[in-house]
Amino acid sequence: VYDVTKFLEDHPGGDEVLLSATGKDASDDFEDVGHSSSARAMMDEFYVGDVDTSTIPTKTKYTPPKQPHYEQDKTSDFVIKLLQFLVPLLILGLAFGVRFYTKSPA
């Protein structure tokens, strides 16, 4: 474990690189970049200790909560589709009727 908080502003790659590795094993990320021997020597001053692997919680598989069985509505699909067609026509007819009867003669 390394605490590089003091090095955030001085890191040549920017602090975003260090912050993206927070809370995880960044060994592979560090090795992939190909740091110089002086960078490796600097790591000694940031060393805090080793992780006790026995304290790491095991990952549990997510199980969704049980949901009650959905009882489908008793209304038939035909009635719903018919209403979806007729209600807008009724509103449109009502709008034309109001317009026609409230129109003042020219």
What CATH number corresponds to the domain at position 54?
Answer: 3.10.120.10
Same domain flag for 11 and 62: yes
Residues for the chain: how many in total? 106
Domain count along the chain: 2
CB 47 within 8 A of CB 7: no
11: Cβ–Cβ under 8 A, 6 or more apart, which residues?
4, 17, 18
Whole-prediction pTM value?
A: 0.45
Same domain flag for 81 and 56: no
CB 22 within 8 A of CB 61: no
Calculate the dihedral angle through the C-alpha atoms of 72, 74, 80, 83, rounding to the nearest 10 degrees: -140
Same domain flag for 11 and 63: yes
Q: DSSP assignment, residue 79?
A: H
What is the tens place of the pLDDT at every residue in 23-56?
888 888 888 888 888 888 888 888 888 888 788 7
pLDDT of residue 73: 64
Same domain flag for 63 and 12: yes
Task: Name the more confident of 88 and 46.
Answer: 88
Same domain flag for 13 and 47: yes
Nearest residue to 56 via CA among 24, 30, 29: 24
Q: Name the residue range of residue 83's domain.
A: 70-105
